[in-house]
């Protein structure tokens, strides 16, 4: 690290279906760089329906390698408070409110980014929730559900409440993951808001990170999701400000093998394991030369033995790290 390099705070983004406790723990065992992770959302349920299964991935004794902040998806203050208190009792003082989820079944119920066009409903939720939860609240949000300026009507509401920080992924829900993050609107948010802001979206390499860090000097915390799945060395490289990592292929292979065995222990049935691992390769493949080719071949394996054979042959004969 050079003398003038201020190490940024890096947070692993929540990716439901991917960054569960097994992934986070295995990742932290093999790679450096992240200071913490935000866990994928738990949806609120009525208090009498909340079971241990809902919070199974958040048990503190299984989350020792990477500190986490739990995330809640919901729009009912009572159910949110009940869950936040349960998490507080488990040892989590801070919880995050998901105002970003873009999927229609969620948004049509005015949850996730479905709440972004309704500042008065957000206001009512916060006025009930904040006095009733024992710890701090942070928010993770997109710019809007339909248009990027929805956030500008929401920020004055958020500014009236004490929040830990706000993570902004500068896309609308309608965009899903298409197009680019709207950096001008992100700047407009920074100009307007009094809360600490975490930047999130499309950080995939060191140079891109440097460009963002130079453009937004007031931001010192950065959340990385897909970029860390397709290049797990990225957080350490950004943290150090340079890429000094050697033996990447061997290190990645050791990580992958641990991940495989841990999921094999946890997931029931070969089909479930196969689908889960194939999902990871939609990201992992991007780290290698000929990524499209290997991505397609893995996608076309329909039995676990065939999948294992394809991966073994890939590692033994062709894998070339390109990132
Ligand atoms: C498969 C998948 C699952 C996601 N799950 C969540 C989630 O549970 N909570 C959340 O706030 N965001 C979720 N997101 C959004 C990411 O946290 C992040 O905001 C988005 O991927 C942009 O960051 P990135 O470009 O660094 O990946 C998810 C994204 C993906 C692709």
DSSP symbols for 172-192: ETTTTT-S---HHHHHHHHHH
The CA-atom distances, in angstroms, between 187 and each of 61, 190, 219, 223 are: 39, 5, 11, 17
Looking from the CA of residue 223, the nearest atom of ligand 1 is 26
Question: Tell me, what's the pLDDT at 323?
Answer: 66
**Does the structure show a pLDDT above 50 at 104?**
yes
Pocket test for ligand 1, best of 169, 182, 201 (most atoms within 8 A of CB): 169
Pocket of ligand 1 (CB under 6 A): 13-18, 40-41, 71, 98, 100, 140, 169, 200-203, 224-227
**Does the structure show a pLDDT above 80 at 5?**
no
- Mean pLDDT along residues 177-181: 97
Question: Tell me, what's the pLDDT at 50?
Answer: 86
Looking from the CA of residue 18, the nearest atom of ligand 1 is 1
Q: How far apart are CA 242 and CA 212, in angstroms?
A: 16
Band of residue 38 on the pLDDT scale cut at 50, 70, 90: very high
Query: Percent of the chain having pLDDT more than 70?
Result: 98
Q: How many angstroms separate the alpha carbon of residue 225 from the centre of ligand 1?
A: 6
- Mean pLDDT along residues 255-260: 98
- Mean pLDDT along residues 132-141: 98
**Does the structure show a pLDDT above 60 at 4?**
no
Cα-based torsion angle of the residue sequence 163, 229, 217, 206 in order, rounded to the nearest 10 degrees: 170
**Does the structure show a pLDDT above 60 at 226?**
yes
Least confident of 36-40, 51-55, 121-125, 167-171: 51-55
Mean residue pLDDT across the chain: 96
Question: Tell me, what's the pLDDT at 48?
Answer: 84
**Does the structure show a pLDDT above 80 at 290?**
yes
- Mean pLDDT along residues 155-160: 98
**Does the structure show a pLDDT above 80 at 170?**
yes
Residue nearest to atom 12 of ligand 1 (CA): 14
Q: Check residue 118 and report its DSSP letter.
A: -
Question: Tell me, what's the pLDDT at 283?
Answer: 97
Least confident of 139-148, 151-160, 179-188, 286-295: 286-295
Looking from the CA of residue 100, the nearest atom of ligand 1 is 11
Nearest CA to 73 among 40, 48, 117, 24?
40
Looking from the CA of residue 181, the nearest atom of ligand 1 is 25
Question: Tell me, what's the pLDDT at 203?
Answer: 98
Band of residue 47 on the pLDDT scale cut at 50, 70, 90: confident
Q: How far apart are CA 173 and CA 114, in angstroms?
A: 8
Q: How many angstroms separate the alpha carbon of residue 226 from the centre of ligand 1?
A: 8
Question: Tell me, what's the pLDDT at 156?
Answer: 98
Q: How far apart are CA 135 and CA 323, in angstroms?
A: 40
Residue nearest to atom 23 of ligand 1 (CA): 201
**186 and 150 Cβ atoms separated by less than 8 Å:** no
Task: Determine how many CB atoms are found less than 10 A away from the CB of residue 322.
Answer: 11
Residue nearest to atom 3 of ligand 1 (CA): 15
Looking from the CA of residue 140, the nearest atom of ligand 1 is 11
Query: Percent of the chain having pLDDT more than 90?
Result: 93
Q: How far apart are CA 213 and CA 199, in angstroms?
A: 10
Q: How many angstroms separate the alpha carbon of residue 272 from the centre of ligand 1?
A: 22
CA 150, 11, 257, 17 dihedral sign is negative
Looking from the CA of residue 167, the nearest atom of ligand 1 is 19
**Does the structure show a pLDDT above 70 at 3?**
no
Q: How many angstroms separate the alpha carbon of residue 176 from the centre of ligand 1?
A: 10
Pocket test for ligand 1, best of 11, 12, 15 (most atoms within 8 A of CB): 15
- Mean pLDDT along residues 256-260: 98
pTM metric for this prediction: 0.97
Band of residue 2 on the pLDDT scale cut at 50, 70, 90: very low
Residue nearest to atom 1 of ligand 1 (CA): 15
| DSSP notation for 64-112 | -SS-EEEEEE-S-HHHHHHHHHHHHHHT--EEEEEE----HHHHTTT-G
């Amino acid at each position: 690290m050079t003398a003038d390099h201020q190490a940024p705070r890096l947070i692993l983004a929540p990716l439901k279906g991917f960054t569960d406790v097994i992934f986070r723990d295995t990742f932290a065992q093999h790679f450096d760089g992240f200071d913490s992770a935000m866990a994928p959302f738990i949806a609120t349920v009525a208090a009498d329906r909340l079971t241990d299964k809902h919070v199974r991935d958040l048990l503190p004794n299984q989350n020792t390698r990477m500190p986490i902040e739990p995330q809640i998806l919901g729009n009912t203050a009572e159910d949110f408070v009940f869950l936040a208190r349960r998490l507080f009792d488990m040892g989590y003082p801070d919880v995050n409110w998901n105002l970003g989820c873009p999927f229609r079944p969620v948004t049509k119920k005015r949850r996730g980014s479905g709440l972004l066009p309704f500042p008065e409903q957000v206001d009512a939720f916060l006025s009930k929730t904040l006095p009733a939860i024992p710890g701090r609240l942070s928010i993770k949000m997109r710019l809007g559900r339909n248009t990027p300026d929805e956030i500008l009507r929401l920020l004055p509401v958020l500014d009236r409440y004490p929040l830990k920080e706000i993570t902004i992924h500068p896309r609308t829900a309608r965009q899903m993951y298409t197009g680019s993050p709207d950096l001008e609107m992100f700047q407009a948010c920074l100009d307007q808001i009094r809360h600490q802001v975490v930047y999130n979206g499309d950080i995939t390499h060191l140079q891109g990170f440097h460009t963002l860090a130079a453009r937004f000097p007031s931001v010192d915390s950065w959340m990385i999701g897909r970029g860390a799945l397709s290049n797990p060395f990225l957080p350490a490289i950004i943290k150090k400000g340079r890429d000094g990592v050697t033996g990447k292929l061997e290190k990645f292979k050791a990580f992958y093998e641990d991940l495989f065995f841990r999921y094999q222990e946890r997931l029931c049935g070969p089909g479930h394991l196969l689908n889960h691992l194939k999902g990871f390769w939609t990201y992992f493949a991007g780290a290698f030369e000929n990524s499209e080719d290997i991505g397609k071949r893995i996608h076309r394996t329909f039995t676990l033995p065939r999948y294992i054979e394809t991966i073994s042959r890939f590692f033994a004969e062709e894998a070339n790290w390109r990132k």
